Amino acid sequence: MIETSATSFAELFARIPKIVLFGVAALVQVALLTLMIIDRVQILREGTEVTLQTRPLDPRDLLRGDYVVLGYDISQLPAGSLLNQPTGTSNPMVFVKLAPNRDGLYEAVSVHADAVAVASPEVLIRGRVAHGATCGSSERAFCDKLQIRYNLESYFVPEGGGRKLEQARNQRKLTVVAAVLPSGRAAIKRLLVDGEPIYEEPWF
Amino acid sequence: MITPAALANIRVALPSRAPGTNIPVVVAIVGGLLIAAAFLAFVAAHWTDLARLVRLAILLAGIVGAHGLGAWFARAGRPVLADLCAGVGSIIFGAGIALVGQMYHLGGDFAGGMLLWAMGALVAAALTGSRGVLAVALVAASLWSSMRIFEIPDVPHFSFVAIWFIAAGLALAWNSRVAAHLVALAALPWWITTALQVGLEPSFVLADGAAFLFGAGLALGVAPWQRASSAGAVLSIYGAFSLAGVSILEVATANDLFRTHAGTVSQSLWAISSGVAGAIFAFAVATTTRRAGAAFAGIAIGLVLLAAAVWSTPQAGEPWRAYAFELCAMLCLVVSGMLDSTRPRIVAGWLGIAGVIVAITWAVKGSLLHRSMFLAVAGAVAIALSLALNRLLPRDHE
């Protein structure tokens, strides 16, 4: 029964012209790549803009070409109420509530294991704990300090452009405007040096 | 002498040779690869000078071009070249994921990128029937799974199993031994990385995996459906070699120096069930088909599992019983292969015997004299058994 069905299905499949099958395969792969870009466009278009202060970091990673590694003041945070709470994984997802200070730069208010309601101008950004989720006897609890990644940590620049940005970053002159969706997903929208835009991310 | 007329008749009578991979095709493939490499080097040299949309267009054109060429070759009756082009298209797709991530600053979830690559390649494999693309999909899926296992080291990554079954389904649908080999091979990295997870005894989990692969392969091999039996035969080969490898590993890591767990390790139910299921499959095949070879395979599986279970319990001194179990298991594997006339299983068994003896001889712990005595006694028992069997069993030649 199964053999007959499979054989008839194979015969049916064999009747489809090869160009159609290969064409659909190419279309699927092109569509998946396009979806990656469209997903980012959605964040840039609909996300709330938050300005984040960068902080000095080690020099660039030579293995990944000319790009700037960005660290933020919100990258290292105290666990607060999450301290000693079970994590489930070594890199759990967390939500950080941000609020603007007097200079308009967004700062972390609190860290949460799940999404929480925020009131404007507060923004909730989603990140993944890179270090700080392997404490406790079971090594599966939040530590007192968390290092969090928001998918905003690398910015690829034209060759030779990285050095200038690194200098600005190390002098704390570099700020990043990120777009954040209500779900907490974020993307880099603009880079500012001394408050002046130097890189504006086009949608495509 | 063949007359021209006879030659013509022979040529007419014989089927025309399928356009396979001959020397001109091989030379053409090398030429194509060199041109592709030159193009890639040229694009790479000017990559950062190109506008982002131009870069994206090059990537998309690469995918469409490779698959388009594949379709052309498939239509022209050149399946090998069509397969190659589809494979190149899927590799460009994988590179595209990395480069789009770079161009649009999407770096972060590397494992997620691998999953996307695996999914795209798996769909392309299903549509084009390309074994090369299936290989790409399984490599990407294995990388994704390994990364996730190291992210969450105390929970097995069962999501990979779903992709593995889809790939197995494709191998069955294509009735392809190459695809069956790829699917069997893809099971190994998952078992190995899973065995290294926190709280598990690696050799026991690996033994369970080898047992399951071997037993399931034997069971599939006696299925009435030709496609299933062919795929089962391939799975059982990998299972036999895995069993031999695990057997050697168990003896080699028996020493306290290699033991990671000082106390008793609790084994997970899914791993134990897999091992037991493998043994049950083998004995079920032996019962239903009345084949002694399958019964010996079942005994080999059972002995390796038993040895692994013995090892899980901390003990003083050398594990002589476990050494004996492993030797018996490998001997059973050889006998099983001989009774079933399955050469790969015989080879796996002999390699297992050689490896186990080497591992016992070169064990760091304990007395070399004691191990020498053990091997001598084991050899004497084997010769006594041989003499007894020589009298009991009917002879082929007088």
Residues A77, A54 share a domain: yes
- Domain span holding position B80: 44-198
Q: Confidence class of residue B360 from pLDDT cuts 50, 70 and 90?
A: confident
**Domains in chain B, number:** 2
Residues B230, B183 share a domain: no
Tokens at A27, concatenated: 């279309």
Q: Give contacts of A22 with chain B, Cβ < 8 Å.
A: 67-68, 70-71, 74, 82, 86, 127-128
Task: For chain B, say whether A66 makes contact (Cβ under 8 Å).
Answer: yes
Residues A54, A11 share a domain: no
- Domain span holding position A160: 47-200
Q: Which of residues 122-161 of A touch B (CB under 8 A)?
A: 128, 140, 149, 151-156, 158-159
Residues A21, A121 share a domain: no
Q: Which of residues 297-336 of B touch A (CB under 8 A)?
A: none
* Cβ contact, residue pair A37, B151, below 8 Å: no
Give the pLDDT score at A64: 47
Question: Helix, strand or coil for residue B55?
Answer: helix
Question: In this structure, are strands A67-69 and A174-180 parallel, antiparallel, or unpaired?
Answer: unpaired
Residues A52, A36 share a domain: no
Residues A118, A157 share a domain: yes
Residues A130, A66 share a domain: yes
pLDDT at A101 over 60: yes
Residue of B nearest to A203 (CA): B104
**What are the tens digits of pLDDT across the range B5-37?**
777 777 666 655 555 557 777 787 788 778 777
CA distance A99 to chain B (A): 24
Q: Confidence class of residue A61 from pLDDT cuts 50, 70 and 90?
A: very low
Residues B346, B207 share a domain: yes
- Of A145, A158, A194, A195, the residue nearest A68 (C-alpha): A158
Looking at residue B76, its amino acid is A
User: Where is average pLDDT lowest: B30-34, B223-227, B311-315?
Assistant: B311-315
Q: Using the structure block, give the residue that is written with the tokens 């779900």.
A: A183
Residues A94, A157 share a domain: yes
Task: For chain B, say whether A204 makes contact (Cβ under 8 Å).
Answer: yes
Task: For chain A, say whether B56 makes contact (Cβ under 8 Å).
Answer: yes
CA dist., res. A3 & res. B179, Å (int): 18
Residues B190, B217 share a domain: no
* Cβ contact, residue pair B108, A151, below 8 Å: yes
- Of B160, B189, B298, B243, the residue nearest B168 (C-alpha): B160
Task: Select from B91, B97, B104, B134 the residue whose CB has the most chain A CBs within 10 Å, as the one to mutate to test that interface.
Answer: B104
Residues B241, B172 share a domain: no
B391 occurs within a structural domain: no
Residues B213, B132 share a domain: no
Least CB–CB distance from A32: residue in B64, B67, B116: B116
B300 occurs within a structural domain: yes
B98 occurs within a structural domain: yes
CB pairs under 8 A between A and B: 125
Q: Give contacts of A3 with chain B, Cβ < 8 Å.
A: 225, 227
B49 occurs within a structural domain: yes
- Of A187, A192, A167, A89, the residue nearest B107 (C-alpha): A187
Least CB–CB distance from B104: residue in A2, A26, A37: A37
Task: For chain B, say whether A183 makes contact (Cβ under 8 Å).
Answer: no
**What are the tens digits of pLDDT across the range B119-164?**
999 999 999 999 999 999 999 999 999 988 887 777 788 899 999 9
Residue of B nearest to A7 (CA): B173
Instruction: Give residue B329's Cα distance to chain centre.
Output: 21
Give the pLDDT score at B312: 57
Greater confidence (B339 vs B387) lies with: B339
pLDDT at B192 over 80: yes
Greater confidence (B15 vs A11) lies with: A11
User: Of B198, B228, B246, which residue constitutes the final position of a domain?
Assistant: B198
Give the pLDDT score at B20: 55
Residue of B nearest to A70 (CA): B105
Sign for the pseudo-dihedral over CA of B58, B61, B65, B71: positive
Q: Confidence class of residue A62 from pLDDT cuts 50, 70 and 90?
A: very low
User: Of B198, B216, B247, which residue constitutes the final position of a domain?
Assistant: B198
Question: Helix, strand or coil for residue A79?
Answer: coil
* Cβ contact, residue pair B48, A158, below 8 Å: yes
Residues B350, B324 share a domain: yes
pLDDT at B337 over 50: yes
B285 occurs within a structural domain: yes
Least CB–CB distance from A23: residue in B52, B71, B107: B71
